[in-house]
Structure 1
Amino acid sequence: MAPERLSTLDAGFLEAEDSDRHASLAIGGVAVLEGPAPDMEALVSTIGERVQHIPRCTQVLRSHAWDLSAPEWVHDDGFDIRRHVRRTAVAQPGDDAALFRVVADLMERRLDRNRPLWECWLVEGLSDARWALVIKVHHSVADGVAASAMLAAMCDGDAVDEASSPVSDEPSRPSHRFGLPDLNPVSWLTGAWNTSLGTARTAWRLTAGAAEIAAGIVSPAPQVMTGPLTDLRRFSAARVSLTDVKAICHRFDVTINDVALAAITDSFREAMLRRDEPIRPNSLRTLVPVSLRRPDEAHLPDNRVSVMLPLLPVELADPLQRLRTVHGRLTQSKSSGQPQAGGIVVAISNRLPFALTAWTVRILTRLPQRGVVTVATNVPGPRRRVTVMGRPVLALIPIPPIAVHLRLGIAITSYVDELAFGVIGDFDAAVGADEIANGIEDGVNRLVTVTQACKRSRRLGNQLLLLTS
């Protein structure tokens, strides 16, 4: 088989990593499992067998001089599973904080490009008879959806279900039906006019979306939030009830992603208030990836994403008003053409000579980006509980990357009855990962309180109507 070339977007993550010696463009996940931990030899054997069926896990990058062609994925003739399945332990008392310190240590180290770009770490010593797997994959290999599918393939049985596939926010397209053409010339003229008008509207929408993305990147953000990276990281997590989140969604007609971003907004607002930072409407521009995958493409190992750059309403004090504003701004960003514009730019770049796109990306990733404060990416996880070597997975926590002056990143995933936020930050960031994670939990709790108060008010109103009728 001919080697598979990286797309411009896939290769762009390599360029972004090369632009900063302190950046590590790996994404990952932490699976916390019920003990006891398996024997290391048994784990190595099991993972070694399963990765044979996962694209990229036994392939290595082959680059070309002068960027004459895109890098390629080729089989690693020297593949050794023991280089990729490793073992470590947490410090006592083995609590979540100790696990998160290990995760931070693992994620700050770059993957070796002379080998397949993934690692799996067995973490022992957790309290309450638990252990963990930390899986780390370079972003050039997969986006969040594809990485989730890779993680599921390492679990027992068929761990991928319909919840693991991205759900498009776009309306379904009508199927094309073939029949006899309309011979009415008036219909021809009407159709041609409508087609031209639709094309013009689409072009304007895409142009406006591209302009919004460019303006968002160059607009300055608060200096306390962005800045250069060091070679050290901090990691933390927030875990909230998915049932509570769905109750909020049902009561206020919003999405899970709306609730998640509203809680993130709440957390950043409180952090800024504690530091007496001026809070302005443009203080929290956030990069929100949008999956361009069809449901049947979840398993494909590559990147198929576009972006939105909404301003999260950190200036609003009322939790419910923040939630509704988040919903409105995300809806506006989706309809403005931002995701479509980003997708078209990526598609066009794949048709250009790779040397041109590589050098363009190289220059852009070395410019000081100060417009975007954080990244918040949401990938649905399994609805049912999965196992690894017969051990139940108690929790799944995603791990995002940070680079190009983004000193904080947040990844969100659902698993069974829980919504988990993985927060990674630079060690020297003014706002720490723990602070943001704790603030997210507080933000969700505030929305739960508002939801319950609205339910009580509604019941009371119904009772009053019954008494007066």
Structure 2
Amino acid sequence: MERLSAFDAGFLQAEDADRHVSLAVGAVSVLEGPMPDFAELVAGMGERLLRIPRFRQVVRPQPFDIGAPAWVDDPDFDLSHHVHFAALPHPGDDEALFRFTAEAMEPRLDRERPLWQCWIIEGLAHDRWAMLMKVHHSIGDGIATMHILAGLCDGAAEANGGTYVDAIRAAHEPEPQGFSLPKPTLNPARWAAAARDIATAAVKTVGVTVEGALQIVNGLIRSGGGSPLLGPVSTMRRYSAVHVPMASVETVCQAFDVTINDVALAAITDSFRAALLRRGEQPRHDSLRTLVPVSVRSNDALGTADNRVSLMLPYLPVDKADRVEQLRTVHRRLTRAKAGGQRRAGNAAVAAIKLVPYALSSRTVRTLTGLPQRGVVTLATNVPGPRQQMQMMGRTVLHMYPIPPVALRLRAGVAILSYHDELVFGITTDFDTFPDVDELAFGIKKAVACLVSAARRPGPGRSGLTLLHPSVAYL
């Protein structure tokens, strides 16, 4: 019997705290046609789906929360409870697909069954079809979910080794240097120097972590200033997505010496600035405190289904009108956030949860997630995806669209996914309070295009650095 970590179980508790939210994440794969026979498709996909242990297990809570819930095999497992068929109405365009995606993601997953669903969708224009995977966040974070989805593709064994998330930057970036014991020595003259070095390193390490922790706490408790993007949500959702050429993003990265994540967040900044202006709000420097999850997953844990993330809480510079200045400011703020220890502090907090008795940690998480959070305004999560175009049941996967959840009073969330030769932005919003989701998506695409134009103009501050592969440019 395998138990959920307190962190994984926290997603179930956060969902319990607000009856209007579902903390499932997902991805839509658009494939070229023709679609295989449905029975043949279910048989082929079912075999692959059942290789994933979590897809055959249910969550069993402990009485009175005295211990963490457990993953146990479902004795009544029935694949037909999880794999569904849908057909889009004519003309089967992207708008119809996105509308169906929002509706499919709205209901909570049934906790009496394994926490996932698969929708096979026909009727897309241009001889295409789609598959939507919906997985509860308690099963895994974005990288874990992408690794699970890799197993559904043709040649999964080869794909996992060469095309999926096997080289994320977080796995290669060394942790901030702490301190280590010096080599043993018999020279008393060196003992005092060694002790001084250890004390200095320890103080520096603790200081950086504490500074990061204070920044995170301040970001969580400080009010977002009554932002119209923050507040109660309904049970209904809207969804939209756009993709931009990875080559265009690389052009911006090379010109301004920034990462893919910097470019993505700058584009999100510009589009949210326009969203605030549409609402009659004058964007301020503190209008868009953003939750940016950061992977702390090592390469040897890619196949583990769980959540291994820390976080940063930067302000995105929506107060700046110039797109290049937005990009430079995003880069500076993320660099400062990393240097200030936010990632380390978040990771330390997650590790500390494991040391606290589950009854206490679960009650704490439930209490905190039930409070009306007012500091963070939106979510922007970056998931490195497949580097090569994938095949599923012999059909080419043309596009992959990530689907983030909406929760904790955040009325809009953005997930960023690199797939093949494009960078994809998937946006989920509350149906009632954020109806302009398509404008938000279009604004992101427009901002990237404007940054590409700026990168191609001669001017100071250009860099000829070679860009890391998209899947490693996590931050």
Is the structural similarity TM-score above 0.5? yes
**Deviation of the 1:188 alpha carbon:** 2.4
- Given the alignment, which residue of 247, 250, 262 partners 1:246? 250
Q: Tell me the distance in 2 between the aligned counterparts of 1:14 and 1:245.
A: 36
Q: Normalising by structure 2, what TM-score? A: 0.92
**SS of aligned partner of 1:98:** helix
Number of the residue aligned with 2:165: 164
Following the alignment from structure 1 to structure 2, what is the Cα–Cα distance between the partners of residues 384 and 25? 29
Question: Which whole-Å CA distance do the structure 2 matches of 1:380 and 1:322 have between them?
Answer: 23
Matches within 5 A, 1:33-48: 33-48=31-46
Change (3 A) 1:153 1:134: same
> Residue 441 of structure 2 corresponds to which residue in structure 1?
437
Instruction: Report Cα offsets for 1:122-162 as digits up to 9, x if no partner.
Output: 01100000000000000000100000011111111133235
Unaligned runs of 5+ in 1: 459-469
Which residue is 1:323 aligned to?
327
Structure 2 alignment gaps of length 5 or more: 463-475
2:54 counterpart of 1:56: yes
Measured against aligned partners, the alpha-carbon deviations of 1:280-316 in whole angstroms (never above 9, x if no partner) come to: 1000100000001002211210000111000011111
- For the residue of structure 2 that corresponds to 1:57, the secondary structure is helix
CA distance in 1 between counterparts of 2:229 and 2:176 reads: 41
Structure-1 residue corresponding to 2:75: 77
Q: CA offsets per residue over residues 384-424 of structure 1, 9 Å max, x none?
A: 11111000000011001111101101000011110000000
Give the whole-Å Cα distance in 2 for the aligned partners of 1:323 and 1:435: 20
C-alpha contact 1:396 1:415 (8 A) present in aligned 2: yes
Please report how far the alpha carbon of residue 223 of structure 1 lies from its aligned counterpart in structure 2 after TM superposition. 2.8
> Out of 8, 11, 22, which is 1:10 matched to?
8
* Residue type of the alignment partner of 1:201: K
Q: Is the 8 A contact 2:150 2:164 kept in 1?
A: no
1:455 is displaced (CA, Å) by 7.0
Aligned length: 455
Structure 2 residue 191 is the aligned partner of structure 1 residue 188:
yes
Distance 1:457 1:196 in 2: 40
Structure 1 residues 92 and 162: alpha-carbon distance in aligned structure 2, compared to 1, 3 A threshold = closer
Partner residue, 2:131:
133
Classify 1:456/1:254 alpha carbon distance in 2 versus 1 (closer, same or farther; 3 Å): closer
Q: Would you say the 8 A contact 1:271–1:431 is kept in 2?
A: no
C-alpha change, 1:177 and 1:70, in structure 2 (3 Å) is: closer
Do the aligned residues in 1 keep the contact of 2:147 with 2:164 (CA within 8 Å)? no
Q: Mark the CA change 1:243 to 1:7 in structure 2 (over 3 Å): closer, same or farther.
A: same
Give the Å deviation of 1:432.
2.7
Residue of structure 2 in register with 1:422 after alignment? 426
| Secondary structure, counterpart of 2:117 in structure 1 | strand
The worse-fitting range, judged by mean Cα deviation, of 384-393 and 219-228 is 219-228
Name the % identity: 51
Counterpart contact for 1:44–1:82, Cα < 8 Å: no
Query: Which letter maps to 2:453?
Result: T
Shift of 1:51: 2.1
Once residues 299 and 394 of structure 1 are traced to their aligned partners in structure 2, the CA distance between those partners, rounded to angstroms, is 25
What letter matches 1:399 in structure 2? I
Pick from 294, 299, 302: which aligns with 1:298? Answer: 302
CA distance in 1, matches of 2:354, 2:348: 10
**What amino acid does structure 1 have at the position aligned with 2:124?**
L
Q: Given the alignment, which residue of 224, 229, 232 partners 2:233?
A: 229
Given that 2:383 and 2:418 are in contact with CA atoms closer than 8 Å, whether structure 1 keeps it comes out as: yes
Find out whether 1:27 has 2:31 as its counterpart: no
Q: Which residue of 2 aligns with 1:461?
A: none
* Structure 1 residue 187 displacement after superposition: 2.5
1:431 CA displacement = 5.7
Q: Which residue of 2 aligns with 1:463?
A: none
| Corresponding residue to 1:68 among 66, 79, 91 | 66
Q: Is the 8 A contact 1:413 1:419 kept in 2?
A: yes
Q: Equivalent of 1:289, from 287, 290, 293?
A: 293
Q: How far apart, in 2, do the equivalents of 1:149 and 1:45 lie?
A: 21
Helix, strand or coil for the counterpart of 1:151? helix
Counterpart code for 1:210 = A
SS of residue paired to 1:188: helix
Shift of 1:266: 0.4
* Amino acid in structure 2 at the alignment position of 1:195: I
Choose the corresponding residue for 1:149, options 147, 158, 171: 147
Hey, what's the Cα distance between the residues in 2 that align with 1:21 and 1:31? 29
1:346 aligns with 2:350: yes
Cα distance in structure 2, aligned partners of 1:37 and 1:417: 24
| AA aligned opposite 1:182 | T
Q: Does structure 1 conserve the Cα–Cα contact (< 8 Å) formed by 2:147 and 2:302?
A: yes
2:90 paired with 1:88: no
In the other structure, the counterpart of 1:215 is 218
* CA distance in 2: counterparts of 1:179 and 1:11, whole angstroms: 40
Matched, 1:379 2:380: no
Q: Distance in 2 between matches of 1:344 and 1:243?
A: 36
- Partner residue in 2 for 1:203: 206
CA distance in structure 1 between the partners assigned to 2:42 and 2:32 by the alignment: 18
Equivalent residue, structure 2, for 1:105: 103
Distance (whole Å) between structure 1 residues aligned to residue 61 and residue 107 of structure 2: 22
Structure 1 residue aligned with 2:265: 261
In the alignment, the residues of structure 1 paired with residue 458 and residue 188 of structure 2 have an alpha-carbon distance, to the nearest angstrom, of 58
Q: Greater shift after overlay, 275-284 or 179-188?
A: 179-188
Amino acid at match of 1:136: K
TM-score by length of 1: 0.94
SS of residue in 2 equivalent to 1:164? coil
CA distance in 2, matches of 1:228, 1:178: 51
Q: In 2, Cα distance between the equivalents of 1:63 and 1:362? A: 15
AA aligned to 1:59 is: Q
- How far apart are the structure 2 equivalents of 1:371 and 1:152? 36
**What secondary structure is seen at the aligned counterpart in 2 of 1:148?**
helix
CA separation in 2, counterparts of 1:264 and 1:398?
15
Matched letter for residue 68 of structure 2:
A
Name the structure 2 match of 1:278: 282
User: 1:456 & 1:262 partners in 2: Cα distance?
Assistant: 19
| 1:186 Cα offset (Å) | 2.9
Q: 1:387 to 1:455 in 2, by over 3 A?
A: farther
Letter in 1 for 2:81: R
Q: CA deviation at 1:279?
A: 1.2
Structure 1 runs of 4+ aligned residues shifted over 4 Å read 176-180, 455-458
Report the residue type matching 2:232 in the other structure.
P
- CA gap 1:179/1:431 in 2 versus in 1, 3 angstroms: same
DSSP-derived class of the 1:307 partner: strand
